[in-house]
Structure 1
């Protein structure tokens, strides 16, 4: 066979394959194909009649696994966790009307933390609109698009099958970790069933989400050159503060390289916790909410020449309650890559638009050998850091644990529980933390291994988020152990989602710190008299029995020395395991933040 014949044969094959790919397909299958091309392998949903065609298409997908949650809010939280751990976007699906309304808390949490998400809703038939149809969520019903429009960048009501390709491109175009957008698309059930030619679009979607498409903000090289010349290569006292947009596994690796290269001490905000190893000699710990003594001492000091902030909103919690000490007596240099600039009018400093990961990669390649003075710079800076670390993360005079406010002598101190967990759990564990008093104890006493493996809903902080989000995180990173730390108040809100973990045999550990109270405000109720105790006290629910009733293996821990054996049992168990730890109500270790709040 001659070369020309070979070429003709190959061309004919491509034509035949293209013709086959352009065979009629439904709108629902086109939607699923676009998710496949984006390499999404899990979607989270609650079933309903208005999404039957979508469910059928998902069921036929060779690469997408559907996870059915107990509640649409839980499904949204799961998809949120999946996005954070996979660095893709999260997908959750439900019916219009009540389903979408239940998505709203998850939408708000993702919006607050800038998590890329796609919400898909199945609507009533387009022929039923405006007739008082059951669960009509269009403009003639509850107008759900109007409800969600402030929580997502793109609101799409697909009324015409011919627009499916263009609308899916619009819906998914910004769903990456550069633009961090969110989209909502509503598709009437009759349109879901209609046939379209979708093969060509699937190929285009594959290209759109493929390796040829840039998905990162580049570094501002001119500014970084100036930063090096004026500060990093000079004998200046410089510290880094890392926020949420610098908190991922890839960025954490190169951040560590840069910190060690220039010998720069590093603090994180609560939302940045996990970006730097907190047992490292250069670690300052957390600055702001749940902060550490060393971070507060160094950053609030006017002896610091420059504080370089990366990817932080510098909001109330990140800035120590808008403390003026953050910027006083030093140069404040802010790098960020957010397409939605945070509200930082209280700071009085503009930010430099520069990709956080790209910025650290550029800094890691800086030629320090060409600077004859750099060895002396390092010597001076190391001497300063040696002074800095004389201030411990935990200042002993403020870490004395008094008797529990409630619970008597048998009540475990949450800080001791967290320290023991940190000693016993594998260092590469994905740690997922809920909202409440336990969040403060975890942030303060858990020493992060600094590999981008600490997850929490930082800005909105809905209670119960971690219970569901942990499932998405584990499914996105199955090779890592996963532990969710939550409280009894959070369990009352979304504890039912542990049955989802049981249903799919998701191997993970839930640690429930049970203090029979909404701990953070219970302290105020009984020590300050802010409100009546009746509003903060909770019944002593048996979460061990609750978990067992849902098919989740569970054990109760009442003494600290029991924790090792129970964790060992949990690690061997092939499925979700809940550990209920009986704790008391103690003042949370948040002294520095509380002092700033009292002065504001």
Structure 2
């Protein structure tokens, strides 16, 4: 059958199993939106307040489900407003397809109204991108884009479609989506045996697990590996919910704001086993900081092998598939002396109960946890509150922690919360925010209210850009240059102005009642949680310092 480009696009999206699009209409995508109107019973379109919110929502949808998130924007400023969200997804390896409109082909390259070279702009922050020059290629491009977004190391793909392409006609035939095979074609027995030999010989192994565990769904295999070799395990920020936190060998997050146990063990182990993670500068990126440990690195992306840390042995391939084959080659082991050291260091992670009567991050997450039966999904903005959530909350299920890691995008959390809540209607999504981050994209409250999404936003209100202020306090002799906000914004009234509910918490004794009311509410809620602006995230490793050179609250106070 012969269909317009807009019809081919929508039918191809249905072929790929797309049920939700996050977007914002405009002139260059009018034909596409006209077609979406006809198919509104099959594809739900969520009208966002801003295109950046659409990209973050598609990202949150993908992180919550493992499926490809889809966002749609018009040409020019609509397309460029997606860029931060696309970069966020790229840095964290999130499968997304971003669709943009553009001016007709005869106007390309002429500085036409609302024309930008969005494929040129996004080339460094996409796995691949396309500008459709021939309608005959449109269906094939859409099919390829979804395959590329999911295959290997996931990531965002952009499709730019000139407006005249959406009006032209071409033949369309329904196509089955191209099947994504787990990437193990380069996996050899020799590689497996080399890695297995190093693990079997190690007395003091330590596992550093990253976002690849989530992307590959290697949760059961990771637990089996830990139990078989009795290795302590730490996770990166991107893998916070990928391993049971109550497991006796779990030592917490690793890195700049990681736990003392994780950071010290990484420097004392004789074998560091890196699984689905990259050695970035917020964790370990300097070979000398690993001391005398050998390194095993397993990752699906060959570009990450030996990029920052030289590996003594490595395997390139899908983590779940690799672990399934590797575990059978490993001997069961248990070094009591090493495990005693692990327990000794884990005692350093215990949160001291110093009740001064003030509202604290620890208190908030302790109370929130009392309401969680495993149903909560926690999204975050970026800053101190993000680290507090990662450190203090007890995550019970995979994909229950959604946060911007590699790019550190302030303003990310609310859009991501909308995407996650739309995707998983039976879960309860709670966005942890700082007053600085929340101010960036609080306009998306209008989207949550319009769609009656029961998202709870908890704002750590410390009247400052808390993480930047912390750096100024520690490294800039307390010169607080433009990090004190002093804004007159009333977050309770703001929530009500958008049509939601708002609460303010000043006292500990009020929190339980406020959380109870918020969770009973069927629509969006904002909770203004007032904390002291001098409260810091500890422990901390200074930029460029060795991972075991830990700054603690005791160091500062003494």
Q: What TM-score comes out, normalization by structure 2 length?
A: 0.89
Equivalent residues in 2 for 1:291-370, closer than 5 Å: 291-301=258-268, 304-319=269-284, 322=286, 324-326=288-290, 328-338=291-301, 340-341=303-304, 344-347=307-310, 351-363=314-326, 366=328
Report if the CA contact (8 A) 1:270-1:289 is conserved: no
Moved more, 97-106 or 565-574: 565-574
> Do structure 1's residue 151 and structure 2's residue 125 form an aligned pair?
yes
Q: Of the candidates 179, 189, 195, which is equivalent to residue 163 of structure 2?
A: 189
| SS state at 2:218 partner | helix
CA distance in 2, matches of 1:527, 1:294: 22
The match for 1:122 among 98, 101, 110 is: 101
SS at match of 1:469: helix
Which runs of structure 2 are paired with 1:447-526 in the superposition (5 Å)? 447-449=394-396, 451-525=398-472
Which residue does 2:555 correspond to in 1? none
2:78 matched residue in structure 1: 99
Equivalence for 1:547: 495
Bigger CA radius of gyration: 1
User: Contact 1:252/1:452 (CA < 8 Å) preserved in 2?
Assistant: no
The Cα shift of 1:390 comes to: 2.4
Aligned to 1:73: 52
Distance 1:445 1:229 in 2: 36
Q: 1:477 & 1:216 partners in 2: Cα distance?
A: 28
SS of residue paired to 1:533? coil
* Partner of residue 389, structure 1: 343
Residues 352-407 of structure 1, C-alpha deviations (whole Å, 9 max, x = no match): 2121121233345x277xx7xx4xx3xx43563244112236456x96879xxxxx
- 1:498-549 per-residue CA deviation (whole Å, 9 max, x = no partner) reads 2211111122221111111001122344566557435011125211211111
Q: 2-side partners of 1:177 and 1:423: how far apart?
A: 39
**Which residue does the alignment assign to 1:406?**
none
Q: How is 1:165-244 mapped onto 2 (pairs within 5 angstroms)? A: 165-198=139-172, 200=173, 202-203=174-175, 206-209=176-179, 213-217=180-184, 221-232=189-200, 236-244=203-211
Q: Which residue of 2 aligns with 1:433?
A: 380
For structure 2, the residue ranges without an aligned partner over 5 or more in a row are: 551-558
- Give the aligned partner of residue 50 of structure 1: 28
CA contact (8 A) 1:444 1:589 kept: no
C-alpha distance in 1 between matches for 2:469 and 2:244: 32
Task: Tell me the residue number matched to 1:113.
Answer: 92
Give the superposed CA RMSD: 2.8
Contact 1:253 1:451 in 2 (8 A): no
Query: How many Å apart are 1:417 and its aligned residue?
Result: 2.1
Provide the TM-score with structure 1 as the length reference: 0.84
Task: Give the C-alpha shift of residue 71 in structure 1.
Answer: 0.5
SS of the residue corresponding to residue 304 of structure 2 reads coil
Residues 405-429 of structure 1: CA deviation (Å, up to 9, x unaligned)? xxxx875222332333234333342
- Greater CA drift, 340-349 or 288-297: 340-349
Structure 1 residue corresponding to 2:359, chosen from 412, 422, 440:
412
1:172 is displaced (CA, Å) by 2.9
What is the alpha-carbon distance in structure 2 between the residues aligned to residue 385 and residue 317 of structure 1?
26
Q: How many Å apart are 1:315 and its aligned residue?
A: 0.6
Change in Cα spacing, 1:208 to 1:277, as seen in structure 2 (3 Å) is same
How many equivalent residue pairs?
545
Question: After the TM superposition, which of the residue ranges 463-472 and 183-192 deviates more from structure 2?
Answer: 183-192
1:219-247 CA distance string (max 9 Å, x none): 65543344445534x67222211012123
Shift of 1:461: 0.7
